[in-house]
């Protein structure tokens, strides 16, 4: 199988996996992979668990469409495209995942500041450059009515937080990236785990010591 076909097949497989996790249900969310100067991207507004290889768009590094999906399917380029492109442009990403995970949405709502913070958790080590004692910070931006309108605030967050590999979108989800699809997937799984830890601690009414270790502000 040629490199381009492998990337397309991988997107199809990952979308199906992410669907089982609740990350791309209701046609939301998506993934993009960059290989050899070509960007492969799932279409917008489709059932992600039912994607086929011939449904994937191919773009150049400037975001221009080089290859459309199979004729007759009338598919649209992902509404996430300009946001994916920012990760490629500003962070040298090799893959970007957009998740509508419930954990990401709740994490964006329980932090009083425009940041999600957590420290002293083993899974932090799954994020490149981070260790157990580090404080992981994820910026939170406000949602907009249209996905493309998030581009400016996403770029601002990336520039303000140069060490982050994720940006939460309030009441919406999260964008996560990595140097390749394996790292992006690992990052997405670790971030989602850490979001859930804080949510579960809140539900359990954890003592203040746990909260000061794990979130930016104590809500007790």
**Residue 80 labeled ligand binder:** yes
Question: Does 93 have pLDDT greater than 80?
Answer: yes
Euclidean distance between CA atoms 212 and 218, whole angstroms: 6
The sign one gets for the Cα dihedral 206, 186, 84, 23 is: negative
Find all residues with CB under 8 Å of 178, minimum gap 6, and list them: 93, 94, 95, 128, 165, 184, 185, 186, 187
Half-sphere exposure of 212 (CA within 13 A, CB side): 3
Q: Please report where in the chains the tokens 């097949």 appear, as a residue.
A: 9
pLDDT band per the 50, 70, 90 thresholds, residue 71: low
- On the question of pLDDT at 94 being above 90, the answer is yes
Is the per-residue pLDDT at 206 higher than 80? no
> What residue segments make up the domains of the chain, in order of their start?
3-214
Percent of the chain with pLDDT over 90: 84
Catalytic residue positions? 122
Dist CA 31 CA 52 (whole Å)? 14
What mean pLDDT do residues 34-62 have?
Answer: 95
**Spatial separation of the C-alpha atoms in residues 216 and 112, rounded to whole Å:** 8
Q: In the CATH hierarchy, which fold is given to the domain comprising 3-214?
A: L-fuculose-1-phosphate Aldolase (3.40.225)
How many Å apart are CA 63 and CA 82, to the nearest integer? 8
Contact 99, 188 (CB under 8 A): yes
Q: Which of 29-38, 39-48, 153-162, 206-215 has the lowest mean pLDDT?
A: 206-215
- In the prediction, which pLDDT does 47 show? 95
Spatial CA neighbour of 201 closest among 118, 102, 99: 118
For 217, the token pair is 């502000």
pLDDT of residue 208: 45
pLDDT tens digits for range 139-171: 999 999 999 999 999 999 999 999 999 999 999
pLDDT of 212 > 60? The answer is no
What integer pLDDT is reported at residue 214 of this predicted model? Answer: 55
Does 172 count as an annotated binding residue?
yes
Spatial contact of 155 and 141, defined as CB atoms under 8 Å apart = no
Q: Is 187 annotated among the ligand-binding residues?
A: no
Residue 119 — pLDDT band, cuts 50, 70, 90?
very high
Q: Confidence class of residue 74 from pLDDT cuts 50, 70 and 90? A: confident
120 a known binding residue? Answer: no
Overall pTM surpassing 0.85 (yes/no): yes
Distance CA 90, CA 167 (A): 13
C-alpha 171/C-alpha 183 separation (Å) is 25
The pLDDT of residue 218 is 41
């Amino acid at each position: 199988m040629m490199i381009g076909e492998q990337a397309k097949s991988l997107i199809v497989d990952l979308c199906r996996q992410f669907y089982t996790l609740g990350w791309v249900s209701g046609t939301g969310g998506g993934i993009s992979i960059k290989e050899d100067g070509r960007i492969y991207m799932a279409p917008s507004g489709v059932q992600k668990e039912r994607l086929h290889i011939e449904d994937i768009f191919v773009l150049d590094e400037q975001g221009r469409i080089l290859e459309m999906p199979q004729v007759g399917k009338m598919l649209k380029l992902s509404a996430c495209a300009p946001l994916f492109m920012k990760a490629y442009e500003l962070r040298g990403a090799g893959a970007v995942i957009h998740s509508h995970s419930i954990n990401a949405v709740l994490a964006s709502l329980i932090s009083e500041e425009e940041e999600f913070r957590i420290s002293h958790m083993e899974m932090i080590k799954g994020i490149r450059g981070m260790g157990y004692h580090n404080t992981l910070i994820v910026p939170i931006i406000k949602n907009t009515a249209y996905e493309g309108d998030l581009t400016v605030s996403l770029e601002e967050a990336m520039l303000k937080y140069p060490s982050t590999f994720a940006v939460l979108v309030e009441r919406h989800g999260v964008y996560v990236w990595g140097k390749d699809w394996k790292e992006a997937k690992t990052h997405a799984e670790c971030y989602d785990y850490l979001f859930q830890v804080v949510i579960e601690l809140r539900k359990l009414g954890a003592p203040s010591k746990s909260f000061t270790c794990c979130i930016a502000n104590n809500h007790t």
